[in-house]
Amino acid sequence: MPIFAANLTLMFNEWSFLDRFDAAADAGFRAVELQFPYDHAPDAVAARLERNGLTLALFNMPPGDRTAAERGLAALPDRFDEVRTGVDTALRYAEATGCRRLHLMSGLADAADPAAQAAYRRAVAYAASALGGRGIDLLLEPINGRDVPGYFLNSFTAAERLIADLGLSNLKLQFDLYHRQILHGDVAMALRRLLPVTGHVQIASVPSRHEPVGEELNYPFLFAELDRLGYRGFVGCEYRPRAGTLDGLGWFASQRKTE
């Protein structure tokens, strides 16, 4: 069975943010991931991890002004200084929590614009080398344009090319099966091919982004495929529960039986 990380931004919303760590551990998770931890002090997050024996698998670097619907800054030519500040902020949280993976969001920009491409490449190279010195991986995640219209990194091919071009050992793909299925399909074959550059996996049903049960993707097959491929990383459960979080954990209980 893969090592599942509960996404505490989307799951366990019945609890206040810090209490979600306790609830996830009580439900049997050994790892969690977060979208944005920045409303809470690094030590407060670290204390919840520690008291529950949880590993923090991943979180996102600061995405810019969320109230203005910004979704990252990396591809925005005039925002490089804020990318640098964001790297410093994210590293403070990573040091406190022991997290070894950070996701850099590209932001909203025209994927065909050479200025955006150059800005993105510069930001990715800068962030990867800043993280590399601390033994932390930088993750790039293609996101589908139905959920986030205008998102710059909207293709697995573009992510794969940049990772190959830059050739930095700590620069990896965040393979979200939900986005992959919407963007390109061919999920199992893509996993087989891209596993060597994959640093983190995420899951949800398609198209509803609920529990990994039913709908378009055959998750029992895909979980077994990750095991067959020898994937030893985390699988982030980045889904919105259909009803209650605990009521929707039948799929997790079935997977735990296969352990």
7 binds, among Mg ion, ligand LJYKPCYY, none (CB under 5 to 8 A by kind): none
**Residue 220 to residue 212: CA distance in whole angstroms:** 9
170 binds, among ligand LJYKPCYY, Mg ion, none (CB under 5 to 8 A by kind): none
Closest-by-Cβ residue to ligand LJYKPCYY is 35
- Name the active-site residue from 33, 95, 211, 238: 238
Residue 201: CB minimum distance to Mg ion, A: 9
Residue 143: CB minimum distance to ligand LJYKPCYY, A: 6
| 82 assigned to active site | no
Residue 100: CB minimum distance to ligand LJYKPCYY, A: 17
211 binds, among Mg ion, ligand LJYKPCYY, none (CB under 5 to 8 A by kind): none
Q: Which residues bind ligand LJYKPCYY (CB under 6 A)?
A: 35, 60, 141, 143, 176, 179, 202, 238
Closest-by-Cβ residue to Mg ion is 176
Residue 56: CB minimum distance to ligand LJYKPCYY, A: 14
Nearer to ligand LJYKPCYY, 47 or 194 (CB): 194
35 binds, among ligand LJYKPCYY, Mg ion, none (CB under 5 to 8 A by kind): ligand LJYKPCYY
- Name the active-site residue from 50, 82, 95, 141: 141
Beta-strand relationship, 101-103 and 137-140: parallel
| 3-class DSSP string for the chain | CCEEEEECCCCCCCCCCCHHHHHHHHCCCCEEECCCCCCCCHHHHHHHHHHHCCEEEEEECCCCCHHHCCCECCCCHHHHHHHHHHHHHHHHHHHHHCCCEEECCECECCCCCHHHHHHHHHHHHHHHHHHHCCCCEEEECCCCCCCCCCECCCCHHHHHHHHHHHCCCCEEEEEEHHHHHHHCCCHHHHHHHHHHHEEEEEECCCCCCCCCCCCCCCHHHHHHHHHHCCCCCEEEECCCCCCCCCCCCHHHHHHHHCC
| 14 assigned to active site | no
Nearer to Mg ion, 54 or 183 (CB): 183
Nearer to ligand LJYKPCYY, 40 or 47 (CB): 40
Dihedral over alpha carbons 95, 38, 18, 135 (to 10 degrees)? -20
Nearer to ligand LJYKPCYY, 185 or 253 (CB): 185
Question: Distance of CA 23 to CAs 6, 10, 64, 236, Å?
Answer: 10, 13, 29, 16
Q: Which residues bind Mg ion (CB under 5 A)?
A: 176, 202, 238
**Residue 61 to residue 201: CA distance in whole angstroms:** 17
Residue 146: CB minimum distance to ligand LJYKPCYY, A: 12
Nearer to ligand LJYKPCYY, 35 or 97 (CB): 35
The residues annotated as belonging to the active site are 141, 238
